């Protein structure tokens, strides 16, 4: 009799142990930018995600290149949903592509886990129960930069960003937290690489600091030209112009610059240490914040799969909402609009041996959510 009860108990235990209960497979469609300009970001997200799900036999991933074009991303999403029958979509880097793909995807009952783009529309009025952002809302890092500018005692900032939705979100985010005045505000052309004219304006403006959001190659050009111009103003920006993939190309011009990020290589927790070590041994390079976002997206998916079957959408969604995974960022939870609540750090670009990288100097904003929570009616 005793034996029988133990067996029974063991059986009950086993059935509540997720590994045994849900052996169902999840098909993931990853649409990201793998060719042309900006492909470094997509490759990092993909590699981070693949590292997280490596060896998991229940997850199969189809990866496709969107070439940074909204129309191609939409075609790929249609094909993945209709003929490949994926359960979850992820991978998109750029906000304009996300705006083209996400609404249709979630309305067809699929889940979308964003490893990067977090446009304000999808956080506010356009939020959806099947859409989760594992990275940040677009404004977040800029808000932290504004907060940092106050604590650094900046009174008169010159701010610039490209003239497109995420650029406007950036300046709005900075201004939302920055208490000083503005010496100048410039929207540059998207894709612009030469900033001689803007730098001349900065020199003439009498600013005491510069905030810029110029992702990818745009930021490389700006930092190099700014340091050659001999202007000695402090610069602050979001991590996008100082991530691991870009620092090498900026060179010493970036040394000492403060930038804000939700992730850094030196965040002290076990999950992050394991991630950095595994990423290095798998791909032979240091991970970037994009890679960490891809990795966390993979880990979030695995955590939800261990709690619920994908067929049961409501339960699976609840499982996602719990965010019960070991994030590389340490503390991580979702707000009611399915965007992260997390710490945003201030980092400084340093040199480790011969490699330029970032080091945390302080916490910019603690348990930071986003400004659009109240607009989201789910």
Q: Which is nearer to another protein, 116 or 369 (CB)?
A: 116
Q: Does 217 bind another protein (CB under 8 A)?
A: yes
268's CB contacts (< 8 A; 6+ apart) are: none
Candidates 72, 249, 341, 350; binder of another protein (CB under 8 A) is 249
Per rule CB under 8 A, count of chain residues that contact another protein: 37
* 220, 239, 267, 304: which one binds another protein (CB under 8 A): 220
For 331-358, b/e burial (b = at least 16 CB within 10 A) is: ebebbebbbbbbbbbbbbbeeeeeebbb
Of 45 and 344, CB closest to another protein = 45
Instruction: Tell me the CA distances in angstroms from 40 to 36, 44, 68, 167, 168, one per residue in order.
Output: 9, 6, 12, 20, 23
**By CB under 8 A, which span of 89-97, 245-253, 290-298, 302-310 interacts with another protein?**
245-253
Please state, in angstroms and rounded to a whole number, the distance separating the CA atoms of residues 286 and 298: 18
Q: Identify which of residues 88 and 246 has a Cβ nearer to another protein in the complex.
A: 246
Is 287 among the residues that bind another protein (CB under 8 A)?
A: no
- Least spacing, CB of residue 335 vs another protein, in Å: 28
HSE-CB for 95 with a 13 A CA cutoff: 19
The verdict on 35 binding another protein (CB under 8 A) reads: yes
- In this chain, which stretch among 106-114, 135-143, 221-229, 312-320 interacts with another protein, using CB under 8 A? 221-229
**Of 13-21, 138-146, 228-236, 311-319, which segment contacts another protein by CB under 8 A?**
228-236
Is 39 one of the binding residues for another protein (CB under 8 A)?
Answer: yes
- Specify burial of residue 83 (Cβ count, 10 A radius: 0-12, 13-18, 19+): exposed
Of residues 126 and 221, the one with the C-beta less far from another protein: 221
Residue 63 parent element (H or E): strand 59-65
| HSE-CB for 254 with a 13 A CA cutoff | 29
Q: Where are the beta strands (DSSP E) in 203-304?
A: 209-212, 235-238, 258-261
Contacts of residues 307-310 at CB distance under 8 Å and 24 or more positions apart, as own/partner, are: 307/18, 308/22, 309/22, 309/24, 310/24, 310/26, 310/87, 310/88
**Per CB under 8 A, 246 contacts another protein:** yes
Say whether residue 115 binds another protein (CB under 8 A).
no
Q: What letter would DSSP give residue 373?
A: G
Helix (H, G, I), strand (E, B) or coil at 56: coil
Report how far residue 286's alpha carbon sits from residue 348's, in angstroms, rounded to the nearest whole number: 16
Stretch in the footprint of another protein (CB under 8 A) among 52-60, 142-150, 215-223, 306-314 = 215-223
The residue (of 156 and 333) whose beta carbon lies closer to another protein is 156
The Cα–Cα gap between 117 and 119 comes to: 6
Minimum separation from the CB atom of position 166 to another protein (A)? 14
Closer to another protein by CB, 24 or 194: give it. Answer: 194
d(CA 59, CA 63): 13
Our CB check for another protein shows the closer of 132 and 211 to be 211
Given 1, 4, 57, 230, the residue binding another protein (CB under 8 A): 230
Under rule CB under 8 A, which residues in 141-200 are in contact with another protein? 163, 168, 185-189, 191, 193-194, 196-198, 200
User: Could you give the CA distance from residue 2 to residue 292 in angstroms, rounded to a whole number?
Assistant: 49
Q: Does 248 bind another protein (CB under 8 A)?
A: yes
Which one of 63, 75, 201, 333 is in contact with another protein (CB under 8 A)? 201
Give me 259's structure tokens. Answer: 């930038």
Q: Which stretch binds another protein (CB under 8 A): 82-90, 240-248, 324-332, 333-341?
A: 240-248
| DSSP states along 199-215 | HHHHHHHT-SEEEE--T
* Residues engaged in binding another protein (CB under 8 A): 34-37, 39-40, 43, 163, 168, 185-189, 191, 193-194, 196-198, 200-201, 204, 217, 220-221, 224-225, 228-230, 245-246, 248-251
């Amino acid at each position: 009799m005793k034996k029988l009860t133990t067996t029974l108990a063991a059986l009950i235990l086993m059935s509540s142990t997720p590994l045994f209960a849900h052996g169902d497979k999840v098909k993931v469609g990853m649409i990201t930018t793998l060719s042309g300009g900006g492909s470094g970001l997509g490759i990092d997200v993909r590699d981070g995600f693949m590292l997280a799900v490596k060896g998991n036999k229940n997850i199969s991933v189809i990866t496709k290149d969107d070439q940074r074009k909204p129309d191609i991303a939409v075609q790929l999403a249609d094909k993945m949903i209709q003929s490949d029958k994926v359960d979850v979509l992820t991978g998109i880097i750029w906000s304009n592509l996300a705006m083209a793909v996400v609404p249709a995807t979630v309305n067809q009952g699929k889940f979308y886990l964003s490893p990067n783009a977090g446009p304000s529309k999808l956080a506010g009025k356009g939020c959806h129960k099947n859409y989760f952002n594992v990275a940040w809302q677009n404004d977040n890092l800029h808000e932290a930069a504004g907060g940092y500018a106050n604590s650094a005692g900046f009174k008169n900032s010159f701010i610039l960003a490209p003239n497109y939705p995420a650029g406007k979100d950036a300046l709005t985010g900075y201004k939302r937290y920055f208490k000083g005045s503005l010496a100048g505000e410039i929207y540059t052309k998207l894709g612009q690489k030469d900033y001689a004219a803007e730098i001349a304006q900065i020199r003439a403006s009498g600013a005491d600091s510069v905030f810029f959001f110029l992702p990818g190659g745009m930021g490389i050009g700006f930092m190099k030209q700014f340091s050659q111009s001999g202007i000695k103003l402090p610069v602050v920006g979001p991590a996008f112009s100082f991530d691991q993939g870009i620092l090498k190309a900026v060179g010493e011009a970036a040394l000492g610059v403060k930038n804000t990020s939700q992730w850094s290589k030196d965040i002290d927790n076990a999950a992050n240490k394991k991630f950095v070590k595994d990423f290095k041994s798998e791909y032979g390079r240091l991970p970037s914040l994009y890679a960490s976002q891809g990795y966390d997206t993979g880990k979030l998916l695995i955590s939800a799969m261990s709690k619920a079957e994908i067929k049961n959408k409501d339960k699976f969604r609840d499982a996602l909402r719990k965010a019960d995974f070991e994030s590389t960022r340490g503390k991580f939870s979702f707000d009611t609009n399915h965007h992260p609540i997390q710490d945003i750090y201030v980092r400084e670009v340093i040199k480790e041996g011969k490699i330029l990288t970032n080091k945390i100097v302080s916490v910019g904003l603690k348990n930071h959510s986003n400004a659009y929570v109240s607009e989201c009616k789910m």
